[in-house]
Structure 1
Amino acid sequence: MNNKKKRVLFIGSFKTKGKEGNVGGQMFACNSLINSDLKNKVDWILVDTTATTNLKRSVFNKLSKSILRLIKVFYYLIFCRVDVILAFCSSGNSFLEKGYVLKISKFLGKRTIIAPRSGHLIDGIITNQGFKKKVLSIFESCDTIICQGSFWKSFFLNELGQPENKLKIVHNWIDAKNYNKTNKIKTPINILFLGWVDKNKGVWDIFNAVNILKRSDYKLNIAGNGEEFQKLSKAILENSVQDRIEMLDWVYGNHKINLLNDADIFILPSYREGLPNSLLEAMASKCAVIASNVGAIPDIINHNINGKLINPGDVNGLVNAIEDYLDNHELIKKHSESALQTIQKKNSISIVEIKFSSILKL
């Protein structure tokens, strides 16, 4: 082992896919980072925290897995050389578990870096004062707080009073060269949703929009799974809209790439987000995108320039945005070209390597 390399204890999600077959944004981010050219400068020490499912788990299941992870972390801290602790985290108890590890690591004299990646974290801070105090305590022990965009940086700066020099913006990233598509528009127009099938992702807004859009010039695919999957599948049959909307379950690998490449329009009417990888993948695949004006999404979507922004819960706004594209195929081409250019400029893995090299002080 090269002792000149910086040794980074990385707490995150390192499975190649989840139990349901999905590849989440955090999973992709962690794996792409450790497999990037940073591996020539870093010895990664990995602690995997991938959840077995996004559905509810028993307290015993969560607690037992948490204890095993903590034992592993403290073994590394005590018996191995560790220069930096990097933690990718979501919200709730997951955030607190990793946050307290960072507090202890800081006490032991380690550099600590936290990368919050869930829009639910902001909700928790706003609605729960007790949780907010815990977040503040954790942030005080962090040398660097990675922000997914300017919205996150502004929130941590103004709502939590964090010093600006601790806040570093690193937009989510993908390897854009894995996506390749011509701008040939299909007939009917292919519309795609890709992600967890739950209320937060706006899947019922999609269903209601399809009920309004009684047109034959489009077909919508929902690729994913989650707590609303069965209810939504039943509603599609009961309302006789299966000719316009199809449920596909999780897709990954070449199947996902092909589905993105076949799509003309990508929709993500979420109620809260960080900066979703599925949106970046759709932009890299030259889709015209429609997404909610939440989280860091406005950092990459410039309304009516490289996509369309709608307010969360605005079904009529979603319908109007879809119709704008259905009625104007040249607009699809224009926005999709601009979307790809945005990804190449702001969200490539090479840009992220440079930013993490600086953050990790390599």
Structure 2
Amino acid sequence: MKILYVINKSTDGGVVSTTRSRINAFRKKGIEAEVFFLYRGDGAKMFKNIRHYHSNRVKDFQERVTRGNYDCIIFVYSLNYMKHLPSSYKGKKVYELRGWTTGAEKQVSKKNISKSVDAIICIAHYIVPLVRPYFREDIPIFVDGNTVDSLFYYINDAKKVWKETPKPQKDHAVIAFVGRITTQKNWKEFIKIFRNIESEHQVEAWFVSNPKTSSDLQELHETCKKNHVNYKVIHVPNENMPEVYSTIADSGGCVLSTSIREGLGNSILEPMACQCPVVSSDKPGKNEIISHQFNGMLYELGNIKKGTGCVEKLLTDASFRHTIIKNALSTIQRNYNQDVYVDRYLDIVSRI
């Protein structure tokens, strides 16, 4: 089997890193997969060992499809180029939703779109009823979650090689925010929870974010300085995130995900694979990964007191923390390892 992903831009974010992880999983089973990006972004470096293309010329896209001999073409979020598929292409056409956004809703609202695809694949169960009304009943919708790349695992200090890996202050636990500093990621709620914790514990806040995609970065700096928050902003190459997650874990801290919405967040799965516990807002997608007090902690969005209590439980109860970490690793191995993902995907394709 040979697959082509069609993605708008090679941004430094979840869509691109998830695609990289999937392709690496396919390779282990002898399946070829390539990516056609319409525009170049910061995330292109993730594909240095994967065949990929950048062009927004229709002719280039059509030539790639004609020469590629693909069995399946997967359009991620955007369907703008589906109409440009050459008539000679006889393979499967799949539309993939890795979250439910305003842009995705606009895409599926376009007329006659349901006549163009053979199937829809959603990254999480909560998306299915949202997308179903826009497509004919005979168009199948499948759910296919993420896989965690094998590069994500706990790394002790002796094996860390990234010279820029940050270090926390002595005896300080790190509470980490991972992702773009934007309204959707709800960084203001993170600061409210962190300030409660900071008043009782020795902690520091790490904002692991790309400044180029963080529209609220300046406001974050102003807010933290105004409230005397002990913080730092760090831009970490994706391949070095395991060392950062491991450092956070070693500090006795955790990842705190306060986002308003997610697809099926890498920022939940990847720290779990690195033995770094996660506290998250109880939102669709994220609560399909985390079972409260089993493999992580969930709190109701906006409930600052509950969010604070969840983080403090992980900071102060060593036995509970160990159990959460152990169960999180089991969850990754059972549901999100590469072999499980590929077998699940091949089963879906066989039914299209």
| Range of TM-score over shorter length | 0.7 to 0.9
Whole-Å separation in 2 of the counterparts to 1:335 and 1:322 = 12
User: Alpha carbon RMSD of aligned pairs, Å?
Assistant: 3.2
Whether contact under 8 Å (1:12, 1:30) holds in the other structure is no
Cα displacement (A) at 1:324: 2.7
SS in 2 for 1:240: coil
TM-score, with length taken from structure 2: 0.78
Distance 1:71 1:39 in 2: 32
> Alpha carbons of 1:38 and 1:294: their partners in 2 closer, same or farther (altered >3 Å)?
same
CA distance in 1, matches of 2:293, 2:29: 41
- Which has the larger helix fraction? 1
Q: Matched residues, percent identical? A: 19
Deviation at 1:165, TM superposition (A): 7.1
Q: CA deviation at 1:260?
A: 0.1
Amino acid at match of 2:125: S
Note if 1:120 corresponds to 2:106: no
Q: TM-score, normalised by structure 1?
A: 0.76
- 1:78 positional shift: 4.9
8 Å Cα contact 1:179-1:257 kept in structure 2: yes
CA spacing shift, 1:215–1:34, aligned 2, 3 Å:
same
Q: 1:294 maps to which residue?
A: 283
1:346 partner SS:
helix
Q: CA 1:248–1:42 in structure 2 vs 1: closer, same or farther (change >3 Å)?
A: closer
Unaligned runs of 5+ in 1: 1-5, 55-65, 90-94
| CA deviation after TM superposition for structure 1 residue 13, in Å | 7.4
The reply on whether 1:171 has 2:119 as its aligned counterpart is no
Q: Which residue of 1 aligns with 2:243?
A: 258
- List gaps (5 residues or longer) in structure 2: 44-53, 157-169
For 1:336, the equivalent position in structure 2 comes to 325
Letter in 1 for 2:314: Y
2:179 aligned to which of 185, 195, 215: 195
The amino acid that maps onto 2:148 is: I
The 5 A counterparts of 1:1-362 are: 6-12=1-7, 18=11, 22=12, 24-38=13-27, 41-49=30-38, 52=41, 68-78=56-66, 81-89=69-77, 95=78, 99-103=79-83, 105=85, 109-121=90-102, 125=105, 133-134=109-110, 137-157=112-132, 159-160=133-134, 163=137, 166-176=140-150, 178-180=152-154, 187-213=171-197, 214-225=199-210, 226-242=214-230, 245-254=231-240, 256-263=241-248, 264-361=253-350
Q: Counterparts of 1:49 and 1:278 in 2: how far apart (Å)? A: 25
Q: Deviations over 1:171-208 (max 9, x none)?
A: 111135631268xxx94322222211111111111112
Aligned residues, how many? Answer: 320
Aligned counterparts of 1:240 and 1:313: Cα–Cα separation in 2: 22
Deviation at 1:37, TM superposition (A): 4.2
Which letter does structure 1 place at the counterpart of 2:208?
A
- Measure, in 2, the Cα distance between the counterparts of 1:210 and 1:228: 18
SS in 1 for 2:4: strand
Q: Distance in 2 between matches of 1:30 and 1:202?
A: 25
